[in-house]
Structure 1
Amino acid sequence: MRITFVLPTVSMAGGIRVVGIYARELMDMGHTVCIVSPPPRTLSFRQKFRSWRKGDGWPKKQAELRSHLDGGRFDHHILDVWRPVNDADVPDADVVVATWWETAEWVDALSSRKGAKVYFIQHHEVFSYLPIERCQATYRLPMHKIVIAHWLKQIMETEYDDKVVDLVPNSVDKSQFFAPLRGKQETPTVGLLYSSASFKGVDTSFAALRHVRKKIPSLRIVCFGSEYPRSELPLPVGTEFILSPPQDEIRDIYARCDVWVTASTSEGFNLPAMEAMACRTPVVATRIGWPEEAVKTGWNGVLVEVDDVSRLADGVEWVLSQSEEDWKVLSSNAHATVCSSSWEASAAMFEQALRNACRRAARNEIGGNCAV
């Protein structure tokens, strides 16, 4: 098949990383893959200054920006300026895949020659900082939907009355995320991902860890992220922070933690939780995204309700208080939770979902056309 992915401005976001993985896997299967995306929006001096004052730094130029597509063997076409992708930017193909609410609008406007129209949904984009009604409207467009989690499939069925949705769960690269059998750290250590996005619940995680420190004063906190910590979301005292660590070093961060904590209030999937488990680290998480399906309290970690600082703290303390042997059982169970998954298997499911889209386009059930 000839497959085109239409992306927003590429970055170090997890959703971009997942698209890059599927693009590589599909190419390895013999498909022709093209990626199209706009560059960053042009910012005024005032917007750049505001970014600097907020602590985000002076916005970088296109050539200075990093993304998960860097160094890949992709046919990646970046537009000359930020604007909607149109027919002239996209090759004729069998399938064209939207990857974000805005790109869904663009793909919907493309001619049928660009391929069967697919919407790869990695989250339910109904946040206050987005035009919610426009976002919701994209889920009603005549496209074949591919989702990454059961809860997203349910949303598409119940809220948007689409019963023909393919579920293709994310996986973990075991050549990148792995760790040998180990015991607890000499100093109790908890890890988490830093993000200023409110739905990531990092403020809740920090509040819980401050509670834990009252009982375990020696607690070490390790976190990494792709942005500098902001003044409105400061790190707990003594936290070790790693800015944008190389991908092959992230497993070492997971592997030197006794517990990984995530307190998201909304999450499409939550790959870091899965990666932490691949590195034999138990997870304490809120009942959101993939952790809701995979974390079993007392077996591979602890699952708590959203915004429950007290229970989150209790969960972290419980994992840290386990004996060496009991912690090793938790660690082994965490690893077992993800050991059967693979990106190769997920990519095969993704390929089948694209073929389903082609068949639906041929029957005029969705937009676009397909020669396959």
Structure 2
Amino acid sequence: MDPGLRVVILEKSNKLLSKVKISGGGRCNVTHACYDIAEMTRRYPRGGHFVKKLFHQFFTSDTIAWFKERGVALKTEADGRMFPVSDSSQTIIDCLLKEAGRYGVEIRMQCGVTALEQTDAGFAIHTAAKETFHCDYVCVACGGFPKAAQFQWLEDLGHSIAEPVPSLFTFNSPRHPVTALMGVSVADAKVMVTGTKLQQRGPLLITHWGISGPVVLRLSAWGARELAALNWSFRAVINWLPEIPEPLLRERMGQWRLEKAAQKVGSKNQLGLPNRLWEFLLEQSGIDAQKRWADLPSKNQNLLIRNIGAFELPVGGKTTYKEEFVTAGGITLAELDPQTMMSKKVPGLFFTGEVIDVDGITGGYNFQHAWSSGFAAARALVQRSAG
């Protein structure tokens, strides 16, 4: 940082780094243990090509090293997500605030920006408290906005906005009997959306409002715009056992009818599904759990096979996944220089993080974009101020 620069952060709320605080269930999913740039860029439904240029400046390994140099060690979990060893987001918050204090960064709380104006000398920032700040450079790092109208103060400077829509949300199935299974999880499920090419595979969680888990969150990210166009009303098709092809499943059930002829169908499932889910699928297939395998009608067996491999769930709405809330949309990428994060329309104006039209799936990817874009903007701003 240039010691000659005076940096002031204008924070709208009375809390700093609140999103960092709740990320990862209060542990802060700092980044993802992916060290290949090409592979990493495939985790961004929007903006993958853009972030590729950023990652050449500041990547996952740089994030890990940056925190380590400041006394914060990160650990990697089985799914690749990285957290502070302390398992507390407060560790990350304390580190960032300490760094800001080290460089004399001034922080103004409850100082929401209402307008940004270009002047002959640079910029005038107008706030809700009727204050005006004059500065040479501005970096907008305000996060995403759920409504296009909230971008108006940036559109007034000549920028165009990619329509904001929610990303990383769960699927609601109000009053559907599956919600009685709340708390049941499946380690590997495949979820598709009828009438689209959208599909994802991964852990699924049944909730009291519908379905959630990484597979649903990823699906909502990749399908953010398509699902918004459907007004979040569609049919999801769930394969509870994607690793077992239907012919093999049919063959196994045929064997069970012979080998387990006297056993009750509901006594124990051989497929590794949670027992509550198995009982639910039997019920949905019109099968009495007390019925013997030998007495299982072919019609009901076929229905059970279909419900295991292609269970149709009507979805009517979404619920924001509070820890991971992300908005797709924002400042159009064509109007930004990915090397510097500076506006191509307004010299001296920089953008970082979710306010631009980049968003990643869940797993630390959105934070990595924030660190990378923040680094690129800060370095470019210092170089520009130095002349």
What is the TM-score with the length of structure 2 in the denominator? 0.31
Larger radius of gyration: 2
More strand by share: 2
Larger RCO (CA within 8 A; separation ≥ 6) = 2
